[in-house]
Structure formats: structure tokens, C-alpha cells
Amino acid sequence: MARYTGPRNKLARKIGEDLGLKSNPLKVARRLTIRPGQHGAKSRRKTSDFGTQLQEKQKLKFIYGILEKQLRKLYTDASKNPTATGAALLSLLERRLDNVVYRLGWANTRAAARQIVSHAHIQVNGKKMDIPSYRVQVHDVISLTNKGMKIPAVSEAIKSEAVTSPNWLSNKSGVAKIARLPERSDVAETIQEQLIVEYYSR
């Protein structure tokens, strides 16, 4: 599956917010207010309603590390949900396996979590799973393989008590369980999902 492999700081500077793409927030903050490109420092025209919607949609893609085709498919699935489309969309994104690994604190960024999953260091219900976009279900048991537990960064993250898992995940010593489906209140990032719904419903 194709994915963005360019400089991640550039994406954060484009949006003007720290999107959690790098493990060093202080380094990101130093140039966050400077737009990328030759004329990035120049004043910009007022953004139109469409431009605001587009930027919020791009921001969501950058945060979760997905492409347009994936996001559009998720929006289609979310629009069939009886609950609010925006909240349903965020719930589907949160249920991606790479995001679950990130939320559990086993990786510093979603990109690192994606790599852990892609290299088959994660098991779902006792079976190896190497698909980052795999959608977890309630009662699924997520665990690290023996090889995955030996990765220095992962091993250190498991021992650390600095990361608190969200309420929809139960986590203990490299083994986690999906207690319930994620809700809108479980999403820590500042996302205006209504703007994204407006963008796709044009």
C-alpha cells in the first residue's frame, strides 16, 4: 500500500499544528509557525469555507497516516452508521490496528506503530497480523510476539508508566483487549469532524 514517505515536519508546518508525527515535539515546535515552501513566510489570503474543510480533511489524513482512497472508503462506511457520521468516522480510524498499537503506547508515533504491525510483531487473538488497516472488534486480544517484545523501544515503552491507555483499551504487560468500541470523547486530537463531513457531502 502506498503511503507518504516525505518529511513529516513539513506536514505539521503546512497545517500549523503539531500532528504527533514526530517523537520530538520541541523540534517540531521550533518551525511550526513557518509555512513550507519558498514563500511560506509571506502573508496568506483568507481561507474560504472550502479551503477550511479541505485543510481539516488533510489534517485527519496526516494524523492517521492514510491516503485519500482509504479515507473516502471509511467515510462511506461511516455514513451508513446510524450515529453521527463524523463521530463514526473517527471511531473507525481509531479501530485501525496501527492506531491501537500507538494508543497502547507501544510506539511513539503511528508511523512507528505501522512498522511494528507490518513486520508481523503483533498478534490478534493469537494469530499474527501484519495489516495496519485491520479493524479491531470488541473482545479482540492484541499482543506482541516474543520477537516484538525484544525490540528495545517497545520493551522500554511497556515498562514505562508514562503512557495511559484510553478507556476503551485494557492493557497489561504487552497484552491488551478491546473493552468497547471507541467513542468521540476518546479521541485526544483536536479534530473538527463536521468540516470533513461537509467536505465529502458537497
Domain ranges of the chain: 96-180
Higher pLDDT, 77 or 32: 77
pLDDT of residue 163: 73
pTM: 0.82
Cell output for 189: 486530537
Is pLDDT above 70 for 21?
A: no
**Cα 197 to Cα 53: distance, rounded to the nearest angstrom:** 9
pLDDT of residue 6: 61
Which CATH topology does 96-180 take? 3.10.290
Cell output for 143: 499482543
Is pLDDT above 90 for 188?
A: no
